[in-house]
Structures are given as structure tokens and as C-alpha cells.
Amino acid sequence: MLEPFFTSTAVVAIGEIGDKTQLLAIVLAAKFRKPVPIILGILCATVLNHLLAASIGYYVSAWLSGQVFRVVVGVSFIAMAGWALIPDKMDDELKAVGRGGIFLTTLITFFLVEIGDKTQIATSLLAARYHQILLVALGTTLGMMIADVPAVLLGEAATKIVPLKFVRIAAASIFALIGVWVLLAAFHLV
């Protein structure tokens, strides 16, 4: 019953390491040096973004069903595995949004940067796979916080603890395993 929550948490926690939103967390922490409004901004932006992504994934999966859809979801996870191996760089124009304060700047920036990001797409795919909006959105939000809160609190030091190359390989492996599992299930092999 809690598999969607725990899987979503693990996939996003690992996939988020080295992602552009984690880099954004480090930039915001270095710029503002006030972790609480940054963390709250990340939390609110992620909840909104991932609820939207999970809802889209859920409703698309309800609309499209059958073996073809499961194969598309499986192949998409394998494609995500390849994408996870590519290092992210934050766009300069999204470093700061305006004069709305630290919380609002973080909220808006994170929401915008997360649109179309691999963790948002993974959230949609997980919701499509598990047919769960709330458990997937809560899990992916927790995964995002697990990866980004240390980045806010520790700044650049957080990215030096574990080489990002190994984290990307681990994230790609998880995405690939989920993709293969979904494909095997689509053909009734598991």
C-alpha cells in the first residue's frame, strides 16, 4: 500500500542530487543566508508542482490504458535513466525572480525551474504507474526535501560529500530498473 510513497521518495531523492533545482537551492542559500524561508519556499513550490504533475500522470493513465500505455511508461523510465546521466546546469535568467522576498523568490523560482524537469516528469510517470496522486506527490515531495534541505543547510559542501557522477549513475540505474520492471509487467513476465 505504501509502495508508491516509498518508491517515489527514493526515485526523486536520488534523481534530485545534482539537478538544477538542487543547484538553485545552493545559489539561494549562498545569496540569502536564511535557510528557513528558502526551505519553506522549496516545500511549497514542490507540493504545488508535484501535485499538478501527479494529477496529470494519473488522469493520462486513466484515459490511456492497456499494454501500449504500460510500454510507453516503461520506455519513458528508461529514457529518464539516460537523462539522469546528463549533468544539469541552472539557467542564469532563473537565478532570481524579483523583489518578493526570500520565500516568494524561492517559491516562484523553484516552481518555474521544476516545470519539465526530470523529477516532475518522474512524478507524472510514477502517478501513471501506481494510479496514486497523493501518495506519489507526497513521496516525491519528501524526496525533493531529502535532497534539497541539506543543500540549503550545507551549501556547496553538500555536493562534495558524494561525487555527482556516482549519484547520477545510481539515479539512472533506479530509473532503468523501474522501466524494465514496468515493461516486464506490461508483457506479463513478472
The answer for residues whose C-beta is within 8 angstroms of residue 80's C-beta and 6 or more apart is 15, 118, 121, 122, 125, 175, 179
Q: pLDDT tens digits for 160-188?
A: 665 667 766 776 787 788 778 878 887 88
User: Domain range holding 50?
Assistant: 3-186
pLDDT of residue 71: 79
Per the structure, how many domains does the chain have? 1
User: Is residue 104 scored above 80 in pLDDT?
Assistant: yes
Q: pLDDT tens digits for 7-45?
A: 999 999 988 887 778 878 887 887 787 899 999 999 999
pLDDT of residue 9: 96
Q: How far apart are CA 175 and CA 190, in angstroms?
A: 18
Q: Which three cell numbers stand for residue 182?
A: 514496468
Question: First CA to last CA across the chain, in angstroms?
Answer: 19
Residue 74 near residue 182, CB atoms below 8 Å: yes
Q: How confident is the model at residue 154 (pLDDT cuts 50, 70, 90)?
A: confident
Residue by residue, DSSP assigns 24-35 as: HHHHHHHHH--H
pLDDT of residue 69: 67
Interior CA angle at 97 toward 92 and 100, to 5°? 155
The answer for residues whose C-beta is within 8 angstroms of residue 163's C-beta and 6 or more apart is none
What's the whole-number mean pLDDT along residues 121-130? Answer: 90
Instruction: Tell me the pTM.
Output: 0.71
Q: What are residue 75's phi and psi, to 5 degrees?
A: -65, -35
Q: Which three cell numbers stand for residue 96?
A: 532570481
One-letter identity of residue 106: T
Q: pLDDT tens digits for 50-103?
A: 999 999 999 887 777 677 767 776 777 787 677 767 765 544 434 444 556 889
